[in-house]
Chains A and B, each alone.
Chain A
Amino acid sequence: MTNGAMGERGLLDVLLLQDYNTTVVVLGTTALGLAAGFAGTLLLLRKRALLGDVVSHAMLPGVVAAFMVMRGLGGSGKNLFGLLIGATISGLIAAWLVPVLRRASGLKDDAIMGIVLGGSFGLGIALMGIALNTPGGNQAGLESFIFGKTASMIRADALLIGWGAVVVLAATLLLCKEFRLLCFDEQFAASIGRRVDLLDGALMLIAVAVIVIGLQAVGLILVIALLIIPASAARFWSDGFVPSLVVAGTVGAASGWLGSTISALEAKLPAGAVIVLVTGGFFIVSMLAGTRRGLILRWIQAAGLRRRVRRQHLLRAMLEAGEGVGSVTIDMVCGRRRWTAQHVRRQLRRAQSAGEVLRSSAGAWHLTPSGLTAARRIVRNHRLWELFLIHHADIAPSHVDRDADLVEHVLDAPLMAELEALLEADTTLPSSPHPLGGVT
């Protein structure tokens, strides 16, 4: 596949998978993204995301060593399968070495991971220097494992990725219940007799499988992004274990498809990098727009709460300042709380459009009948909350952070009746910070 040929390819051809080479690349990276989303979610929830980075870097010496061994046995050393077996072995050694070194040294996880990552990658670079100096060594394409070389993917590679993805998905879904248990509560898992070490081993094998099939496409430096980013994005959309897996897989697959398509259209862009950038885009969108804990959702919720609280405070202040139905000036309302005239004007305009206050004459405002009803209700409900706190908070303190509007929804009917009786009879209530005009 030459750059010139790729540059002339039409958008439709690429999107509809009309071109054979492009089809191979797009399907391969899509399958890779799907598998990476699943495996990445497991790593993330097991709090081992960075272990994936250690493993991928540690695959370099394995690849180079496999090349040297195959050369030593008389082959060309370019057999992909052989190279990936070398990568798997050295990756697994690193994954095993991290906990062993941690136990032996007593050092923290991050230090150990830095040591293993740096050490093994350094070893890989050194071995590669030696390999490149042997005759024919510089044609083996060993460097492509570092940064990935998606465009050189052939049908056999895509098939390997596809089968790898199938195995990863099947293993994850079959063991989904066990992984949920392991990732959530390792000690409980051990207490009911689960072999935590075996489960961790299975989880690690799944991650290593994804990294190995991703080496060619995105390279060992960027493959960690494909594991972590879709899994992180999924947390903004889902609250369940299986939904998290599925969303992460979908984000990964979409990134693989979109990224390789973009790179096929614009041949100067390396596919691995574009795929990772697309996942990054998905992450930002998820963080903003996610339906579970996306920023926009949280802003809307916070703004809604702020508006409700301000409305309640305004109506209550109007009621108290105006002794019920009387007109009040903005200054009088400002005096109830530490409000600026500007703030009060804004709140009044908002209440006006809700039909709760009316502007009577120059600068004076009064509550409309519906505003008066609402204000009385708010004051009454606040008093009920206060009574509830005094008499019942010991049984359910978790209820008291609620909105005054919700008092009937949170407390049950008998309790409400009791509180209302108390409110009728009450004279012992500590005086409210704001004198209650026209309420009782």
Chain B
Amino acid sequence: MPRGLPTATFPRGAEHDDAAPLSIHDLTVAWHSKPVLWDVDLDIPKGQLACIVGPNGAGKSTLIKACLDLVPAVSGEVRVFGEPYRRQRKRVGYVPQRESVDWQFPVSALDVVAMGTYGRLGWLQPVGRKQKARAMQAMERVSLEQYAHRQISQLSGGQQQRVFLARALAQDADLYLMDEPFASVDAATEQAIVDVLRTLRSDGKTVVVVHHDLQTVPEYFDWAVLLNMRVVAAGPVDDAFTADNLRATYGGRLTLLDQAASALGRLASGDPGSA
């Protein structure tokens, strides 16, 4: 990406697509004094299934959290549909990592999914019939309706992951940010999640997924972001997800490169499976 004048004086829109669902401008994030993301510059176009891949500690989750104002930026900014996140919250759905919460917590699956409707409710407004119905619909979309009244600790890991996905669906957003939704789920859940993502895409939604399984990138996603503290490559999967870019992202981690090679092999043999 050609780099021009410093951002401060750069006329917005000259380089970035202002209407893009997610547009990140020269974002730098640090934990204490250690930078985690460095000068990240990124646009995710509308209607894409985008993945963010990169080695452990590359800042993938931090990038998602920075987009949601959950971690402060040292410099740079994030625009969601052309505006700061705080003005577009109702258009963004979020799936945090499954391990980020205590699944022994005394709530039912439906209670958790209904939290997706809280964004449109005030502090004192109770969850009403309308919100419950919307939560139930979201549970049906991930085939969990029969588990609605179970306590969440009685769900399997894959079902818990689908509860989080359903909660994001209940947010009824235009842009979805998902942190490792495929982490340690069984094959049935993985397929269910992929189906939901494709439905979202056909509804014109944009989805950004932090992903760890390089093999499935060409099959599941349209757009790839290769991240290792900075953006190594970003673009349509065919352009960005190349062996050279992967090597630059992952360094000398050979097993991962083997995985990538087999993924690229499948891509080259005309079997991306994403049609």
Contacts and interface: CB of A to CB of B under 8 A. Distances in A.
**Are chains A and B native binding partners rather than an unrelated pairing?**
yes
B158 A398 contact: yes
Nearest to A199: B123
A184 B126 CA distance: 17
Contact of A181 (B68, B94, B118): B118
B111 interface: yes
A347 interface: no
A244 B112 CA distance: 16
A178 B122 CA distance: 9
A185 B89 CA distance: 17
A240 B107 contact: yes
Interface string B90-117: 0010101000111001111001100100
A102 to B, nearest CB: 14
Given A177-B118, A178-B123, A193 B105 contact: no
Interface stretch (A89-97, A255-263, A301-309, A389-397): A389-397
Contact of A192 (B101, B108, B118, B187): B118
B212 to A, nearest CB: 20
Contacts of B204: none
A239 B115 contact: no
B101 A185 contact: yes
Contacts of B158: 398
Given A239-B106, A397-B186, 18 more contacts: A174-B124, A178-B118, A180-B107, A184-B107, A188-B96, A188-B167, A190-B68, A190-B69, A191-B70, A191-B89, A191-B96, A194-B118, A238-B106, A240-B107, A240-B151, A241-B111, A395-B187, A395-B188
Contact of B115 (A185, A190, A394): A185
A57 interface: no
Contact of B126 (A47, A177, A185, A396): A177
Given A190-B70, A191-B94, A240-B108, A181 B115 contact: yes
Q: Enumerate the 8 nearest inter-chain pairs by beta-carbon distance, A residue then B residue, closest first.
A: A192-B119, A239-B151, A191-B94, A191-B68, A398-B156, A193-B89, A244-B106, A185-B101
B243 interface: no
21 contacts: A47-B102, A175-B124, A177-B121, A180-B111, A185-B101, A187-B65, A187-B96, A187-B100, A188-B167, A190-B70, A191-B68, A191-B70, A191-B94, A192-B89, A193-B89, A193-B119, A235-B106, A238-B106, A395-B188, A396-B186, A398-B186
Contact of A184 (B92, B94, B105, B124): B105
Contacts of A174: 124
Interface of A: 45, 47, 174-175, 177-178, 180-181, 183-185, 187-188, 190-194, 235, 238-241, 243-244, 394-398
Contacts of B188: 395-396
Nearest to A238: B106
B129 interface: no
Interface residues of B, number: 36
Nearest to B151: A239
A184 B112 contact: yes
B105 A188 contact: no
Contacts of B125: 177
A244 to B, nearest CB: 5
